[in-house]
């Protein structure tokens, strides 16, 4: 039965303790995010409790209205918007619930901003190992839903590697606790059936799935059907992590935490070509750095003036810089490794300059450039705006040189201004393109370049997204990227867990226009 929205609004107000907004102003506010789209939602709810979430989901199910979970809205490809009821977790369900240094774990509500976790852990000498550049704004739930990673992913992996357990609400409103160990799950009867069905689908396609597992070091594209099955164990957290709110809604999670490293040393290494940067990246990995981050010259130029200290490091002649970070307990050992790496890169004529950053102030100044510029790119004062389509591809590390060269060739061919940065150490490059999408030519050029870059990634055995997810942008390309067989398994998995089809439709499973151009917001 379909109710008019005003009835739903009244029902919600009567049933839940959180806020309910169906007015135009709020709906407009939530119609966009850090992305290039605008889609008007039906209404917005800020739940206070898991019970609120269950009630909203049941009402939405009964009225066949989609539910879109939302955290910090920093998702870049339109995942946190859509026609439906937006559930904003950041207003009330945002607490760090418990920190347990003894068990190296931390529990927080889904809407908890990641930086609040960092701040809570710092006085204890502990850290949360996932450090995305958006940590000041993104939420724990959002990072789980996108399988976010940070600059130190080379050492600590992605969010999926840090989950101890999660409380989730399914599309029928049932609340469950899922764990890496299947036997520790706490499920309702209906939830048991749904997870058993998902497991059966993966078991039945085990060979195909194993054969087609992405060959890259990190991926956040499609569903992670590649890791949940291990022997007879079915780890539902691996499947839900990265599913962009399309399989379940997270209300709380317990994650790994770690003691902060005693010594951290950082190097700025300078290069005069992409080829040499890619080659040096491969060599540097042999010295076990915790981060190998790329910043090209056009990226650091946007960060000029942030501080006199960082300006000293970026006002030089170079095409790219690598920030190489080393963590450990013994400064002597780290310095020796760093010196050996420097000698090797000098001998092979790969670096043009090399600076070991001696103070915390120096280190922090360059990490600030890395962090702040990625935000500033969203607010450049020109008609050409940051467009996220090819911003998150990754390839096997051996193919990094070909990928960087290919990106440049394609974007030059389409006359698109771009900047490269990100997690080169894992074969993962953020490629920000600047385009005026208000013009037909701008839209044509970005569409053509996107198609060509995606084909290049596929040819090199890569994935279209390594940490941002698919959203509206990449969903229409997934069948081509993964092939029909795998995509049909994605579909089966989706409907095994969300037979109602109400959880964030058109993301991962969907067939909308490539680039969804008709809903692009005016910028």
Ligand X SMILES: Cc1cc2nc3c(=O)[nH]c(=O)nc-3n(C[C@H](O)[C@H](O)[C@H](O)COP(=O)(O)OP(=O)(O)OC[C@H]3O[C@@H](n4cnc5c(N)ncnc54)[C@H](O)[C@@H]3O)c2cc1C
Kindly state whether residue 242 participates in binding ligand X, applying the rule CB under 6 A: no
Please, what is the minimum distance in Å from the beta carbon of residue 352 to ligand X? 27
Which residues from 462-481 bind ligand X, rule CB under 6 A? 467-468
Name which of 70 and 199 has its Cβ closer to ligand X: 70
For 49, 68, 351, 356, the CA distances from 130, given in Å and listed in that order, are 26, 24, 29, 24
Name which of 9 and 470 has its Cβ closer to ligand X: 470
CA gap 47, 415 in Å, rounded: 46
Radius of gyration in angstroms for the set of CA atoms belonging to the chain, rounded to a whole number: 23
Name 428's Cβ contacts closer than 8 Å, sequence gap at least 6. 153, 216, 217, 218, 392, 393, 394, 422, 466, 467
Q: Total residues at the site for ligand X (CB under 6 A)? A: 38
Q: Of 54, 94, 133, 300, which lies in the binding site for ligand X, with binding defined by CB under 6 A?
A: 133
Name which of 239 and 250 has its Cβ closer to ligand X: 250
CA gap 386, 514 in Å, rounded: 18
Kindly state whether residue 75 participates in binding ligand X, applying the rule CB under 6 A: yes
Residue nearest ligand X, CB atom distance: 142
CA gap 149, 466 in Å, rounded: 9
Kindly state whether residue 276 participates in binding ligand X, applying the rule CB under 6 A: no
CA gap 291, 310 in Å, rounded: 19
Q: SS3 sequence, 380-411?
A: CCCCCEEECCCCCCECCHHHHHHHHHHHHHHH
Which residues from 366-425 bind ligand X, rule CB under 6 A? 374-375
Name which of 68 and 334 has its Cβ closer to ligand X: 68
Task: Residue 39: name the closest of 5, 70, 74, 80 by CA.
Answer: 80
Stretch that binds ligand X, among 12-20, 242-250, 275-283, 379-387 (CB under 6 A): 242-250
What is the number of residues in the chain?
523
Q: Which two tokens stand for residue 387?
A: 């467009």
For 180, 200, 203, 212, the CA distances from 229, given in Å and listed in that order, are 10, 10, 7, 14
Please, what is the minimum distance in Å from the beta carbon of residue 143 to ligand X? 4
Kindly state whether residue 508 participates in binding ligand X, applying the rule CB under 6 A: no
Kindly state whether residue 54 participates in binding ligand X, applying the rule CB under 6 A: no
Kindly state whether residue 81 participates in binding ligand X, applying the rule CB under 6 A: no
Q: What sections of 285-399 are H helices per DSSP?
A: 297-302, 308-314, 331-347, 360-376
Q: Of 249, 424, 478, 508, which lies in the binding site for ligand X, with binding defined by CB under 6 A?
A: 249
Q: Of 57, 68, 106, 395, which lies in the binding site for ligand X, with binding defined by CB under 6 A?
A: 68
Stretch that binds ligand X, among 63-71, 183-191, 266-274, 413-421 (CB under 6 A): 63-71
Q: Of 79, 107, 162, 432, which lies in the binding site for ligand X, with binding defined by CB under 6 A?
A: 79
270 in Cβ contact with 353 (< 8 Å): yes
Task: Residue 141: name the closest of 94, 175, 177 by CA.
Answer: 94
Task: Residue 431: name the closest of 378, 459, 389, 469 by CA.
Answer: 389
Q: Of 36, 39, 80, 400, which lies in the binding site for ligand X, with binding defined by CB under 6 A?
A: 80
Please, what is the minimum distance in Å from the beta carbon of residue 141 to ligand X? 3
Please, what is the minimum distance in Å from the beta carbon of residue 177 to ligand X? 14
Please, what is the minimum distance in Å from the beta carbon of residue 78 to ligand X? 9
Which residues from 88-127 bind ligand X, rule CB under 6 A? 89, 110
Kindly state whether residue 432 participates in binding ligand X, applying the rule CB under 6 A: no
| Contacts to ligand X by CB under 6 A | 33-34, 68-76, 79-80, 89, 110, 132-134, 138-139, 141-143, 145-146, 148-150, 244-245, 249-250, 374-375, 467-468, 504, 507
């Amino acid at each position: 039965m379909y109710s008019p929205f005003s009835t739903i609004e009244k029902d919600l107000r009567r049933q839940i303790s959180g806020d309910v907004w169906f007015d135009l102003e709020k709906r407009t506010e939530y119609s966009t995010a850090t992305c290039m789209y605008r889609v008007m939602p039906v209404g917005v709810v800020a739940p206070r409790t898991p019970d609120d979430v269950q009630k909203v989901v049941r009402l939405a199910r009964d009225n066949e209205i989609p539910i879109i979970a939302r955290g910090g809205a920093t998702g870049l490809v339109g995942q946190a918007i859509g026609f439906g009821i937006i559930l904003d977790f950041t207003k009330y369900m945002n607490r760090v619930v418990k920190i347990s240094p003894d068990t190296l774990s931390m529990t927080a509500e889904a809407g908890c901003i990641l930086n609040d976790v960092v701040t809570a852990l710092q006085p204890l000498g502990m850290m949360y190992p996932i450090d995305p550049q958006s940590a000041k704004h993104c939420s724990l739930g959002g990072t789980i839903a996108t399988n976010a990673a940070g600059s130190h992913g080379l050492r600590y992996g992605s969010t999926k590697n840090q989950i101890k357990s999660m409380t989730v609400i399914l599309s029928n409103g049932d609340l469950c606790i899922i764990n890496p160990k299947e036997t520790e799950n706490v499920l309702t009867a209906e939830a048991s059936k749904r997870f058993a069905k998902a497991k059966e689908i993966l078991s039945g396609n085990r060979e195909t799935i194993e054969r087609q597992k992405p060959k890259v070091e990190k991926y956040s594209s499609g569903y992670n059907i590649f890791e949940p099955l291990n022997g007879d164990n079915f780890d539902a957290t691996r499947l839900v992590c990265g599913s962009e709110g399309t399989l379940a809604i997270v209300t709380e999670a317990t994650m790994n935490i770690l003691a902060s490293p005693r010594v951290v040393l950082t190097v700025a290494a300078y290069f005069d070509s992409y080829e040499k940067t890619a080659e040096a990246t491969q060599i540097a990995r042999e010295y076990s750095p915790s981060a190998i981050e790329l910043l090209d010259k056009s990226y650091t130029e946007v960060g000029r003036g942030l501080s006199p200290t960082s300006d000293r490091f970026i006002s030089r002649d170079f095409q790219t810089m690598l920030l190489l970070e080393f963590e450990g307990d013994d400064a002597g050992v780290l310095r020796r490794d760093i010196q050996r790496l420097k000698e090797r890169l000098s001998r092979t004529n790969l670096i043009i300059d090399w600076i070991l950053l001696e103070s915390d102030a120096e280190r922090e100044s360059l990490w600030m450039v890395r962090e702040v510029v990625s935000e500033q790119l969203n607010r450049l004062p020109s008609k050409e705006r940051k467009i996220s389509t090819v911003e998150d591809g990754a390839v096997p590390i051996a193919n990094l040189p070909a990928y960087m060269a290919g990106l440049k060739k394609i974007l030059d061919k389409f006359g698109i201004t771009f900047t490269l940065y990100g997690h080169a150490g894992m074969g993962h490059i953020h490629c920000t393109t600047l385009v005026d999408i208000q013009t037909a030519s701008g839209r044509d050029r970005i569409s053509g370049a996107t198609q060509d870059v995606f084909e290049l990634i596929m040819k090199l055995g890569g994935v279209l997204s390594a940490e941002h997810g698919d959203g509206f942008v990449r969903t229409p390309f997934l069948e081509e990227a993964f092939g029909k067989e795998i995509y049909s398994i994605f579909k089966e998995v989706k409907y095994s867990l969300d037979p109602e089809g109400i959880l964030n439709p058109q993301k991962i499973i969907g067939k909308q226009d490539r680039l969804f151009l008709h809903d692009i917001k005016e910028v």
